[in-house]
Amino acid sequence: MTAAQTISEWRAALDAGLAPEDVVREVLRRIEAWDDPALFIYLPDEAVLMAEAARVAGLARDLPLWGVPFVVKDNIDVAGWPTTAGCPDFAYTPATDATVVARLRAAGALLIGKTNLDQFATGLVGTRSPYGVARNAFDAAYLPGGSSSGSASAVAAGIAAFSLGTDTAGSGRVPAAFQELIGWKPTRGRLSTRGVVPACRALDCVSVFSRTAADAAAVLRVASGYDAADAFSVKVADAPLGRESFRFGVPAELDFAGDPDTPTLFAQAVKRLESLGGVAVSIDLTPFVEAAKLLYEGPWVAERWAAVGDFVEAKPESVHPVTRKILEGSKGWDAAATFRAQYRLRELARETESVWRNIDLLLLPTTPRLYTVDQVLLEPIGTNATLGRYTNFMNLLDLCAVAVPAGRAREGRLPWGVTLAAPAGRDLALLELASRMSDGEPVAGPKTHRIPVAVCGAHLEGLALHHQLAERGAVLRWKGETAPVYRLYAMPGGGGLPPRPALVRDEAGGAPIAVEVWELEAAAFGTFVAGIPAPLGIGKVELATGEQVPGFIAEPRAVTGAEEITSYGGWRAWLAR
């Protein structure tokens, strides 16, 4: 048994001898003790989880998330596990993992189950599910937040070290505020949404819940990356906030919807950022709020209908009444109105540019107020709109955001939070600031520059030349395959050299080739590259994820007299022939 809850705590327990099978037993014990039948939509039996633990046990122990338990929202695909999106009659069983799940599992993370949500990810409350209301970890009478309700509750209850949610209008931030968590909503397209049931496909983001900003950053490093098979995936270059002494925008007018506690907590958050060296700048939030109104008054509700409308029309009785009312409200939306709304959004985005010229980030209430479950059930649409007042515009305007705990309301019983938001690409910078704000561990680590290198031959772990990486302190970042655009050849040995692989790009006749990506500090990378004999060298290698990293490639002359071994799929397989 272990008391571990964060990624670093679980890794410490695993390094001390805890096995992945022990992690499964401990997590199942916690689930039983928590006793919330509405938390999971799909929780595999122990035998399936033990098989998952055995898979993890067979991976390299130094993978960044080796053995760390996580859960995913049940609108995200896991191979062989049903996806319901909170609607039993909609369920299907995918053959492959969502891209983000595949990346986390490849990094050693141990998947436990799939969690409850507002049906079709439509809602910020956590009450619109036929599976019940996942319990708020602090007070069951209050909202867990939605739509990623179960994903937040699982982390807040200590069942998972981190979890995946989704965020279109605030679903990855509101539950964080209500359950004292970090809720990272990435730059749009930074995390692939391939294998995610769409809500508004052009706006959807996969989000992360964790106890610390450092944990969210650890997931970012593994889960991020361009996915060429996802039309909405983008390549994101990390950017700083912009100034050493940062300036943060505080709206001149805020509406807390009559909550007795949250205005004071927000004022304390302003002072906290000022104590960290920030300068508060009063701003006009009007163009942001006007953009938020478009989300449920414009074509983006029609986009939800495009995702699931055929199902709703075929089986209206299978859809939650509130969800159906929202979706059906878009049926009459016409193309001309769609273009007018898009033009209006572009105008509002241009208006916000003058705000960003004076500030580096926004500080906002994540939600104006706290609601009980009963209050929301009595007025489901109006309360939901209030909760999204300061979240709905962010994906429309392509901002990244981090929800941060900001104290407790109701005489210290109930968490509440604020959100840091900035233009696209500032994800890591916001997480670093969120960590400082919440007194967490730094997310950036030592100020060293590490360079990735993709290897495909004798430098693979356990093979003859791997020591050249190990002795330079290389850290394994990823195992997988290249994009299907390479041929692999075995060059004959000679001159004291063993047979070596030659990786040659061939767009027309190529195939995926097994590789490992290791990271070296800059100086070590330089000495490593200097020792590579011709006709091999370092160029850009395209991975199956779409990312291009430095790696071993061969000059065209390398294939002369060499045996083509592409059909083996990799150097290890050829050696084992």
pLDDT digits (tens, 9 = 90+) for 15-57: 999 999 999 999 999 999 999 999 999 999 999 999 999 999 9
Range of the domain at 136: 7-242+252-437
Domain final residue, candidates 369, 403, 437? 437
414 and 522 within one domain: no
Task: Specify if 444 maps to a domain.
Answer: no
Catalytic residue among 73, 153, 210, 224: 73
Question: Within 13 Å and on the Cβ side, how many CA atoms surround 373?
Answer: 16
Burial of residue 572 (CB within 10 Å: 0-12, 13-18, 19+) is: middle
Element (H, E) at 430: helix 427-437
The predicted-structure confidence for 261-276, as pLDDT tens digits, reads as follows 999 999 999 999 999 9
DSSP, res 142:
B
Whether 243 has a pLDDT exceeding 70, the answer reads no
519 and 401 within one domain: no
Residues 6+ apart with CB under 8 A from 2: 9, 10, 13, 18, 26
350 and 231 within one domain: yes
pLDDT attached to residue 476: 80
Please report, for the domain that includes residue 318, its CATH number.
3.90.1300.10
Whether 348 has a pLDDT exceeding 50, the answer reads yes
Q: Would you call 171 a catalytic residue per the annotation? A: yes
Catalytic residue among 114, 129, 147, 163: 147
pLDDT attached to residue 446: 38
Q: Which residue has the higher pLDDT, 347 or 445?
A: 347
* List of E strands, 238-325: 247-251, 279-283
Average pLDDT over residues 223-252: 89
Residues 6+ apart with CB under 8 A from 354: none
* Residue written as token pair 């994903």: 151
β-strand partners of 69? 110
pLDDT attached to residue 499: 84
Pairwise CA distance, residues 414 & 345, whole Å: 36
486 and 397 within one domain: no
Task: Specify if 443 maps to a domain.
Answer: no
Task: Specify if 29 maps to a domain.
Answer: yes
pLDDT attached to residue 67: 98
Report how many domains make up the chain: 2
Pairwise CA distance, residues 137 & 242, whole Å: 37
Domain final residue, candidates 414, 437, 460? 437
Catalytic residue among 149, 171, 207, 210: 171
Closest CA to 38 of 118, 112, 92, 120: 118
pLDDT attached to residue 27: 98
The predicted-structure confidence for 361-371, as pLDDT tens digits, reads as follows 999 999 999 99
Low-confidence winner among 150-164, 317-331, 500-514 (lowest mean pLDDT)? 317-331
Is the distance from CB of 59 to CB of 66 less than 8 angstroms? yes
Q: Would you call 567 a catalytic residue per the annotation? A: no
Burial of residue 197 (CB within 10 Å: 0-12, 13-18, 19+) is: buried
Whether 522 has a pLDDT exceeding 90, the answer reads no
Whether 208 has a pLDDT exceeding 90, the answer reads yes
215 and 354 within one domain: yes
